[in-house]
Structure 1
Amino acid sequence: MKLLPALLLSTLAAVSPLAAADSYDIVVYGGSSGGITAAIQAARMGKTAVLIEPTKFLGGLTTGGLGATDIGNKKAIGGMSREFYANVFKYYSDAAKWKQQTREEYYAKKPHGNTGSEDTMWTFEPHAATEIYDAMLATVKDKVTVVFSERLDLKKGVVKKGSRIVKIVMESGREFEGPMFIDATYEGDLMAKAGVSYAVGREANAMYGETINGVQKVKTVHHQFIKNVDPYVKPGDPSSGVLPGIDPGDIGEDETGDRKLQAYNFRMCTTDVPENRRDWEKPANYDEKWFELALRNVEAGDARISWAPSWMPNRKTDTNNNFAVSTDFIGQNFDYPDADYATRAKIWQAHEDWQKGLMWTYAYHPRVPEQIRAAFQKLGLAKDEFADNGHWPRQMYVREARRMIGGYVMSEKNCKRREIVEDSVGMGAYNMDSHNVQRYITKEGFVRNEGDIQIGTRPYPISYRSITPKAGECTNLLVPVCLSASHIAYGSIRMEPVFMVMGQSAATAAVIAIDSGKDLQQIDLAKLKEKLLADGQMLDFESPPMPEHVSITKEKLGGIVVDDMEAELTGFSSIGHTTPGFVGEGYRHDSDSLKGEQKARFTPNLPAAGQYRVAITYTALANRAESVPVIIHHADGEEKVIVNQKKKAPEKDVLIPLGTFRFEKGKTGWLEIRNEATTGHVIIDAAQWLPAK
C-alpha cells in the first residue's frame, strides 16, 4: 500500500469530521487590536487562549496604516492599551529606529499631539506596531496560540446548546471549543451567527433620544463641496444620468434612520523620501467616469488638497480622507456588513481600485491644476511598508459594520455625560465622528455630501452591558469591537485604543465567569471592577456634562461672512467644537504643528465696490498663539495684521476688527490667516466684511 505524505495526512485530519475540536479556555475570533489584548489578558490571568485571525496578519488597523492615534483626552486610556503606547515610546527611544530623520527633528513639529515629554507615544509606523504586538504576544506564547488564515464558516460556523456557544467551525472544517468566546472582528460575524441581535446603519434620532443620528442633510458641513458641481453625465442634462457614486433619488428626511454606513477607505502610509517612495501608478482597470466628479470639482475652483497626511516617524504619514472628494469611497459599502466573503472581497477591491485611481488622477491627470498635482506627486507609498501587499495597506478601514444590540446601548447621551453608566469597563473620549454616508442631488441641481458629523464629547464610561449580549441570546460571548452603541455613539467609541481597552476588559470578564462558573451576565461586577482597576484600566474620572453650545449664525453676524468650511485651506485639518463662541458647526486649528506650512484663505463675494470693515472670529484660550499673521488683500494693496488669539473679543461680541479697507466688487479681495512664526494653537473660524458707513 502506498503511504500518503505526512503533510497530506495532517491536512486530511484537519478537515475530517472525526477530528477533535481544538480546546482552549477562551476562543478569540479576530486578530484586531482588541483581539490581541484579549488573548494576552487571558494568558496573564492564567488561562489558555487561541487567537484566530482570518487573514495572514495581526493588528487590524493599528498595524494596517492607522498610526495617528485618535482618542481625544488621553487620560481616558489605561491598562494594556496604554502599555502599547508606552511600548511605542520605548521603541522610538532607540536611535537605531530612526532612519530618515532624528527623533528630535520629528518631535520638533509636535506631530498629532505628541510632545516628547511623556512616557507614551501616539504616532508610529505600521511595521513598528507589528513588532510591538509580536513582542507582547511572545511574553505569553506558552498560553496563547495564534492561528492565521482561518475564516468562520458563515453557514454552519457556530454550534450552540441553549444560550451557550459550544464550538465554532472554520471554512476548512477546523473546530475550536471552549467555555468562553470573544468576537473581536470589525464585522461581527461570530456575534451574528450566534444569533445575537445587531443593528446596521443609522437609527432615527427618536429611537434613543438623540440629536445627531439619522440622515443629516442640514448639519453636514464638513468635507463638503465649496463650489457648485454638476452631477450629471452630460452637464445640465438630467436625462443623461448621474455620475457614478451619486444617489439620483430621495435620500430621506433629516433625523430619519436608514441602513446606510459611513464611508470606508484605506489609511495609506506614504513618504516624501525619494528613494523610499513609490510613485502613484495608473490602475490597469482605471475608469475615468468614476473620477469625473473629482475633476469637475477642481475645475470649479476647489484648490484644497484633498487628503490629510499626518506625519509619522521617519518621514512617513498616516494619510486619511479630507474635503469633498477624497479617499473615502462614499456610498459604496452599504452591503458590506451582511455580505458573504465573495461579495465583501468585491467591495474591498472596489475601494482599493477607487483610492489608487484617485491618487493617480490627482497626481497626473492634465485636468488637475499644477498645484494639486505637485502636492500629490510629493508623497507616494512607502516602499518599506506592506512589502507583501505591493506597499498597500492590508486592512480596509471598516469604520462600522454590525453593531450589537446588547444589554445596554451606548448613545449620544452617554458621550455628552448626560447619562452615566455605573458598570464601566473603560472609557471613550473622541468626538462623535461620522464620515460622509452618501452623495445626493440638491433641489438646485448640484451634488452634495451627506452624513459627516463631528461633535465634541466629554470623556465617558462604557458599560459592561454594551460588550455582552442579552442573556436570552448568548451567555458566553463578549463583543468588544462591534459593541452595543448607536451609530453616532459608535462614531466616538470606534477608536483603536478603545478597542484595546475593551478587549482586555472582555477577557477579564471571561476569566471571572469561568472561575465563578457563572454566565457573563451574572458575574460579580464588583470583582470585575476590582480587577480592572488593579490592571490599570481607567473606568471614569470627573468631567462635567457637555454643554449644549448654540453656535453663532452667519446671519446673526451680518455683512458678508465666510466660514472656515468655505475657506481655501492648506492644512488646518483639525476641527474643534468644545470652546463656545464659534460660527457655524465648529472651528479649525493647526494642532500647534507644521508651523509655516498651514494657511486659510477667506474670499468673499462682495456685492459692490467700497469701504469694508474687516473682522475675524476665533475662540480665545490660554493655549492659543499670540502673534498670528493675518494678510488682508484689498484694492489698494495688502496689509499684515498681527492678532493675539489669547485675547478675547470685546464684551458681547465675537468679532475681532482688523481695519477698514477698500475692495472691488466680486472676489478680487481676500483675507489669509497663517501659522508661520507662531507658538500655540492658531484658530480659524470665520471672516466678516461689513460695509463701512
Structure 2
Amino acid sequence: MRRFLVCVFALIVLWCNAFAQPRKLEYHADIIIYGGTTAGIIAAVQAAKLGKSVLVISPDKHLGGLSSSGLGFTDTGDKSVIGGLARTFYQRVYQHYQNDSAWNWQQKAEYGNKGQGTPAIDGADRTMWIFEPHVAEQIMEDFVVENKLQVYRNEWLNRKSVLQLKNGQIISLETLSGKKFFGKMFIDASYEGDLMAAAKVSYHVGREANSTYAEQWNGVQALVFQHGHHFKSKIDPYQIAGDKSSGLLKGISADQPGVNGTADHKLQAYCYRMCLTDKPENRITFPKPDHYNPTDYELLLRVFNSGWNELFDKYDPIPNRKTDTNNHGPFSLDFIGMNYEYPEASYKKRKKIIKAHEDYQKGLMYFMANDSRMPQKIQVKLKNWGLAKDEFKDNNNWPYQLYVREARRMVSDFVMSENEVLGKKTVPNPIGMGSYSLDSHNVQRYVTEEGYVQNEGDIGVKAPRPYSIAYQSIVPKKTECINLLVPVCLSSSHIAYGSVRMEPVFMILGESAATAAALAIDSHKAVQDIDYGTLKNMLLNQKQQLTLDN
C-alpha cells in the first residue's frame, strides 16, 4: 500500500510539473501575415474576403504603421491609379469627415482643400487623402472588426530562432513570447523585412552602384541638389568656426561621400512625422527630451543666421488645425547618418536608435522654442505650435512609428529599377501601380573640399507617368522560398524604392499579395508558379489598377 501511495504521489508531482512548465502555444491559419502596417491589415482583409483563414502578427500595439503615426498628408502621386481596398481606405476617410462631429477643433469650411498634388477632398470620387492619425488607426481597427480578423499584438518575431523550413517552404515562425504560427502561405508586411531575412531570402541594404541596374540616380550623388534640402550658403562645419582642431559639429561625418554613382551601405534618413497643432486648447508645449544638449543644434543656428527662413514650409495642414510635419531644409527633422545599423540591428539596438531619433527630434523642437540664441521672430511663431493633445494619447502624444523610409530590400528574379519607374522599360505581370517621383532623403552630411558643410543623397526626379509594379518583385527566387510574399520590402533598387515606398502603394501590394497567396493555396502551387492570367482577372475584379490601359 505504501509503495502504491508513493507511486501515486510521484505521478501527481510529474503531472503538476508538466503543467507548470510553459507550453508553446500553436496557432494555425491558411495565411500568416507579419506586420500590423497598412499593407498587413489590407492583406488580411483581402485574405478573409477570399475565404482564407488568416492571422496577423503585429509587433506593434497600434495598427496602420505610418498612416496611423503622423503621415496624414498622403503621398498620393496620381490618385487615379490607387484602386481596390486602398481606395476603400481613402473613401472611409472621406466618409468620416462628412460628419460634423469629426470637426471638433475647426469648421470644415475653414480647413481648405490642399493635398499633395491633388485636392485633399475629392467629392466626385468620394475620397479624402488628408487625415488625422487617429482616424487612420480607427479605420484599420474597423477593418479588423468587420472582417473578424485575429490580430496578435506586441508579438515580435524571434529572429534568433531559425524558422521551420522544409523544401524551401516556411512551415512555421516563432515569436519572442513562445507562440508558434503555422501557415500555408506567409506575407512579410513589416517595414524592416525581418521575416524575409529569417527565411534566408536574398536582400540588399544601402545604395547600389548605378552600373548594377543601368541607372542614373542610384549610388552616391554628391553636389546633386533636387529638393532644396541642402546648405545653400557657406556654413562652417567646426565647433569653433574656422578652427579645424576644434572638431566637427555633431552630425557631420569626417568621411568623404565617395565617388558619384558608386555603391555604399548607407540609408536615407529617418524621422518622425509629427502631428502638431496651433489650437491652444489642444496644444501641449514641446517637452524637453531625456538627453538634451543644446550644442547639438549649433549647426541649425548657423543656418538661421545665414538667412534661411523656410522652417514652416512643411507644416502641411491636416483637419482640425493640425499638421503632418515633415523634414524640410538643410538641418531639420531628418537625423541624417544615424540609421545605418537599423535594418540588421537587434531589437535592443533598434530601440536605442529609435530613442536617439526621438531625443534628437524632441530636442530640436525644444531648442527652437526655448533657446535665447534663436531668431526672435521665428521663435515667437514656433511657440504657437505644440504636440496635439488628442493624438497618440498613450505615448505622451508622440508618434508610435519611426518613419523607416528604407531598410532591407529583397533581391528577386525581377528588380524594380528607375528604368521601370521612368517608363524606359516595360513591366511584366503587373499587380498594381505607382506614380510618385524617385524620392530619396539625404543620406550623409560631410565637409566639402572647400571646407564647408554639405548634405548628400537628396534626389527628386518626377516619373513622367504612372508605372506598373511587377508580380515577380514581391516574391522571392523560387530556389529560396516558395510560400512567402513581400509587399513592403519588395525587390527594388534604392532609388526605385524611393518612388514605390508610399503608403497607398503598400496597401495596393498588400492586397495583391494576399490574392496571390490565396490563388497559390487553391492551385497547390508555389507563389512563383501561379497562373498570372487568373491573378490578373482577380485583381481587376477587385478594381485594382494594373496598367494605364485599365
TM-score bracket for the superposition, by shorter chain length: over 0.9
Q: 1:359 to 1:182 in 2, by over 3 A?
A: same
Taking the aligned partners of 1:302 and 1:20, their CA distance within structure 2 comes to 58
Q: 1:217 to 1:306 in 2, by over 3 A?
A: farther
Q: Over residues 96-124 of structure 1, what are the superposed CA-to-partner deviations in whole Å (9 max), with x where a residue is unaligned?
A: 11111122221355676324433100001
Greater strand fraction, Structure 1 or Structure 2: 1
Q: 1:157 to 1:95 in 2, by over 3 A?
A: farther
Q: Over residues 79-99 of structure 1, what are the superposed CA-to-partner deviations in whole Å (9 max), with x where a residue is unaligned?
A: 000000001001111111111
Taking the aligned partners of 1:95 and 1:495, their CA distance within structure 2 comes to 30
**Secondary structure in 1 matching 2:67:** coil
User: Would the aligned equivalents of 1:305 and 1:375 in 2 still touch at CA under 8 Å?
Assistant: no
Alignment size in residue pairs = 532
Paired residue for 1:417? 423
User: Would the aligned equivalents of 2:413 and 2:476 in 1 still touch at CA under 8 Å?
Assistant: yes
Taking the aligned partners of 1:11 and 1:375, their CA distance within structure 2 comes to 63
* 222, 239, 242: which one aligns with 1:233: 239
* 230, 241, 249: which one aligns with 1:224: 230
Which shifted more, 422-431 or 224-233? Answer: 224-233
Which consecutive unaligned segments of at least 5 residues does structure 1 have? 2-7, 544-693
Q: 1:323 to 1:402 in 2, by over 3 A?
A: same
1:488 pairs with 2:495: yes
User: Would the aligned equivalents of 2:445 and 2:454 in 1 still touch at CA under 8 Å?
Assistant: yes
Taking the aligned partners of 2:254 and 2:429, their CA distance within structure 1 comes to 46
* 358, 362, 372: which one aligns with 2:368: 362
1:448 pairs with 2:454: yes
Cα displacement (A) at 1:407: 2.0
Paired residue for 2:3? none
Taking the aligned partners of 1:20 and 1:255, their CA distance within structure 2 comes to 50
Paired residue for 2:4? none
Taking the aligned partners of 1:186 and 1:116, their CA distance within structure 2 comes to 29
Q: 1:408 to 1:384 in 2, by over 3 A?
A: same
Taking the aligned partners of 2:529 and 2:337, their CA distance within structure 1 comes to 41
* 92, 110, 115: which one aligns with 1:105: 110
Paired residue for 1:79? 84
1:407 pairs with 2:388: no
**Secondary structure in 1 matching 2:345:** coil
Taking the aligned partners of 1:10 and 1:240, their CA distance within structure 2 comes to 65
Cα displacement (A) at 1:297: 1.6
Taking the aligned partners of 1:20 and 1:229, their CA distance within structure 2 comes to 58
Which consecutive unaligned segments of at least 5 residues does structure 2 have? 1-8, 10-15
Letter in 1 for 2:146: T
Q: Which has the larger radius of gyration?
A: 1
Taking the aligned partners of 1:12 and 1:228, their CA distance within structure 2 comes to 68
* 520, 524, 529: which one aligns with 1:522: 529
Paired residue for 1:123? 130
* 516, 538, 546: which one aligns with 1:539: 546
Taking the aligned partners of 2:308 and 2:251, their CA distance within structure 1 comes to 19
Letter in 2 for 1:166: I
| Percent of aligned pairs sharing the same letter | 49
Q: Over residues 371-397 of structure 1, what are the superposed CA-to-partner deviations in whole Å (9 max), with x where a residue is unaligned?
A: 221232121100000010000000000
Paired residue for 1:260? 266
Q: Over residues 126-182 of structure 1, what are the superposed CA-to-partner deviations in whole Å (9 max), with x where a residue is unaligned?
A: 1111111111221111xx210001101111151111200010011111100011000
Taking the aligned partners of 1:322 and 1:20, their CA distance within structure 2 comes to 47
Which shifted more, 283-292 or 527-536? Answer: 283-292
Q: 1:325 to 1:476 in 2, by over 3 A?
A: same
Q: Over residues 472-525 of structure 1, what are the superposed CA-to-partner deviations in whole Å (9 max), with x where a residue is unaligned?
A: 000000000000100000000000000000000000000000000000000010
1:136 pairs with 2:143: yes
TM-score relative to the length of structure 2: 0.94
* 64, 67, 71: which one aligns with 1:66: 71
* 519, 533, 536: which one aligns with 1:512: 519
Cα displacement (A) at 1:360: 1.1
User: Would the aligned equivalents of 1:481 and 1:499 in 2 still touch at CA under 8 Å?
Assistant: yes
User: Would the aligned equivalents of 1:310 and 1:319 in 2 still touch at CA under 8 Å?
Assistant: yes
**Secondary structure in 2 matching 1:504:** helix
**Secondary structure in 2 matching 1:384:** coil
Letter in 2 for 1:81: A
* 34, 39, 49: which one aligns with 2:54: 49
Paired residue for 1:664? none
Paired residue for 1:668? none
Taking the aligned partners of 1:301 and 1:160, their CA distance within structure 2 comes to 59
Cα displacement (A) at 1:229: 1.1
Q: 1:200 to 1:12 in 2, by over 3 A?
A: farther
Letter in 2 for 1:419: K
1:270 pairs with 2:283: no
Paired residue for 1:652? none
Paired residue for 2:29? 24
Query: Alpha carbon RMSD of aligned pairs, Å?
Result: 1.8
1:215 pairs with 2:220: yes
Q: Which has the higher contact order (CA 8 A, sep 6+)?
A: 2
Paired residue for 1:311? 317
User: Would the aligned equivalents of 1:271 and 1:381 in 2 still touch at CA under 8 Å?
Assistant: yes
Greater helix fraction, Structure 1 or Structure 2: 2
Q: 1:108 to 1:403 in 2, by over 3 A?
A: closer
Paired residue for 2:170? 165
Cα displacement (A) at 1:434: 0.1
Paired residue for 1:88? 93
Taking the aligned partners of 2:187 and 2:20, their CA distance within structure 1 comes to 28
Paired residue for 2:392? 386
Alignment of 1:429-448 (within 5 A): 429-448=435-454
**Secondary structure in 2 matching 1:345:** helix
**Secondary structure in 1 matching 2:315:** strand
Taking the aligned partners of 1:247 and 1:350, their CA distance within structure 2 comes to 17
User: Would the aligned equivalents of 2:290 and 2:359 in 1 still touch at CA under 8 Å?
Assistant: no
User: Would the aligned equivalents of 2:113 and 2:119 in 1 still touch at CA under 8 Å?
Assistant: no
Letter in 1 for 2:540: L
Taking the aligned partners of 1:264 and 1:463, their CA distance within structure 2 comes to 27
Q: 1:10 to 1:64 in 2, by over 3 A?
A: farther
Q: Over residues 57-94 of structure 1, what are the superposed CA-to-partner deviations in whole Å (9 max), with x where a residue is unaligned?
A: 11100101100110210011000000000010011111
Letter in 2 for 1:323: G
Taking the aligned partners of 1:12 and 1:22, their CA distance within structure 2 comes to 21
Q: 1:10 to 1:177 in 2, by over 3 A?
A: farther
Letter in 1 for 2:306: A
**Secondary structure in 2 matching 1:291:** helix
Paired residue for 2:157? 152
Which shifted more, 222-231 or 37-46? Answer: 222-231
1:290 pairs with 2:311: no
Letter in 1 for 2:459: I
Taking the aligned partners of 1:436 and 1:93, their CA distance within structure 2 comes to 38
Letter in 2 for 1:182: I
Cα displacement (A) at 1:20: 5.2
Q: 1:408 to 1:287 in 2, by over 3 A?
A: same
User: Would the aligned equivalents of 1:363 and 1:375 in 2 still touch at CA under 8 Å?
Assistant: no
Taking the aligned partners of 2:79 and 2:373, their CA distance within structure 1 comes to 43
TM-score relative to the length of structure 1: 0.75
Paired residue for 1:344? 350
Taking the aligned partners of 1:153 and 1:81, their CA distance within structure 2 comes to 30
User: Would the aligned equivalents of 1:306 and 1:323 in 2 still touch at CA under 8 Å?
Assistant: no
User: Would the aligned equivalents of 1:263 and 1:436 in 2 still touch at CA under 8 Å?
Assistant: yes
1:466 pairs with 2:477: no
Q: 1:420 to 1:317 in 2, by over 3 A?
A: same
1:373 pairs with 2:404: no
